[in-house]
Structures are given as structure tokens and as C-alpha cells.
Amino acid sequence: MSIAYDGINKEGLSTQIADAIRTAIMEGRLVVEQRLPSENELAERFGVSRATVREALKRLAAQNLIRTQRGPTGGAFVNRLTWSEAHDALVTTSTLLIGMNDIPFEDVVEARFTLEAACLPLAAARRKDKHLEVMRQEIAQQRMKDASDEDFCASDVRFHRALADAADNPVLSFQMAGVIESMQPLMNMITYRMRDRTRIAALHDALADAVEAKKARAALKVLDELSSYTLELMAARRSARATTA
């Protein structure tokens, strides 16, 4: 095992040790299923107590980077991160990053639709019946008069996830999870009281039609309309707030 070690400060010892091991994993010096040295060996290598090493390992386990096994052949092993685990971590991190920082709504909208636009040419070329079926099901859900705001918002997210998945690129789908499942709910939360559900469902229908017909330019045009409408809603919300202030 190769862990870069340039000495550690007295403060945040467990964090620094966890960072050193994490870096070794990310750089490929520690590979999946490889067993880490024992707590005693790590404590000696870093010049710290076993308790400090144990705390560092807990940090890495919480991030799903390592797992521990009991028994004579047990120990700490480099974990194989699954797509599902990575997806959940990405969505959570993206949601917290956007929610806890003062990011202008226009920047969120710009990023959200610019990234989705990158999926459309691939989606138009590679879409399968299963993707179109999900999109049509969600449009039908959005047109239901008795659907709650929560149901409509959830359907909106699922529609755009299906659109991104239609690009048939697992890495792109993974990246878009953080975009759609964190940014879209935020946009919905801000604009839901002012939006016209019928108009949004119609735009989604036009998007699905363009993707089904494999017309990427037409799909991009519809997505641009959806982006513009979202910005219009935000402007109207701000105007209403200014009037009542």
C-alpha cells in the first residue's frame, strides 16, 4: 500500500489521516477490495494513537470509501462505490450546496437548462421506447386536475430524469442526477404558485414529440422556451413581492 505522508499537524489528526487515505484511493494507489494495514500499523506509520486512526477510518466508512469486516481475515477494505450510493451522495451534496449558499436564481436556471441541453442531441438519437413511455406517463400525471403540487413537482423531476436517461450515457445520467434532482425541486418550490401547469405539460409534450421524432433542434428550442418561462415566473414573483412590500 502506498499512502503519501508528509507529516501531520496536531490539530485535526483524524481528518488529515482520512484525507491521506482518501487521496491514495482516488489516485489508484489503493485499489478496490485491497486491505488496509491494521490500526496498529497505521498508528505507527502516522505517529498517532489507535483511537485517532479509528476515528479516521470511521470518517472514510461514512463516505462509503472503506468497509470493515470482522474475523481472522477481516479488517478495513477499500469499498467498491455503487452507482446508487454515488447518486444519493451527489444529490444530497448538490442540494445542500445550493440550499445553503446565496446562489442567484438566474444562475441556477442557466446551469440547469444548459446542462440538460447537452443531453438532447444524444437523447434524440438514442431514445428508446421505455424512455418515451416514462415521459408520456409523467405528462399524463401532470395533466391530472386533482394532482397536488407535490405530485406535480415530483412528476416534473421524473420527466426530466427520463429525458436525461434517454441519452443512454450512464456517466451523463449520473451527473444530471445532481442537476435535476437538486435544482429542479428548488425551481419548483420558488415558482409553483405562479406557474401554469397546462403550459408546462404542453412544453413537456412538445419535448417528448421532438425527441421521439429524433429532432434535436426542435427539442432544444422547446427547452429554451421552458427556460425562458421559468425566468418569467421568477420575475413575476419578484414583482409581486415588491408590490406587497
Residue pLDDT, tens place only, 66-97? 888 887 788 899 988 777 777 777 778 777 77
The residue type found at 210 is A
Q: What average pLDDT does range 180-207 have in this prediction?
A: 87
- On average, the pLDDT of the chain sits at 87
DSSP 166-206: TT--HHHHHHHHHHHHHHHHHHHHHHTTT--HHHHHHHHHH
Cβ contacts of 149 within 8 Å, gap of 6 or more: 192
User: How high is the pLDDT of residue 102?
Assistant: 76
Q: What average pLDDT does range 173-188 have in this prediction?
A: 82
CA-only gyration radius of the chain, Å: 24
Return d(Cα 67, Cα 78) in angstroms, integer.
7
Report whether 99 contacts 108 (CB < 8 A): no
The residue type found at 218 is A
- Angstrom distances, CA of residue 147 to CA of 5, 131, 205, 230: 57, 22, 18, 20
**3 state DSSP class of 20:** helix
Report whether 168 contacts 101 (CB < 8 A): no
pLDDT tens-digit series, residues 16-50: 999 999 998 888 888 888 999 989 999 998 889 99
End-to-end, the C-alpha distance of the chain in Å comes to: 63
Return d(Cα 42, Cα 1) in angstroms, integer.
11
With bands split at pLDDT 50, 70 and 90, how would you rate the model's confidence at 177?
Answer: confident
The phi, psi pair for 101, rounded to 5°, reads -125, 155
Q: How many CA atoms lie within 13 A of 114 on its CB side?
A: 6
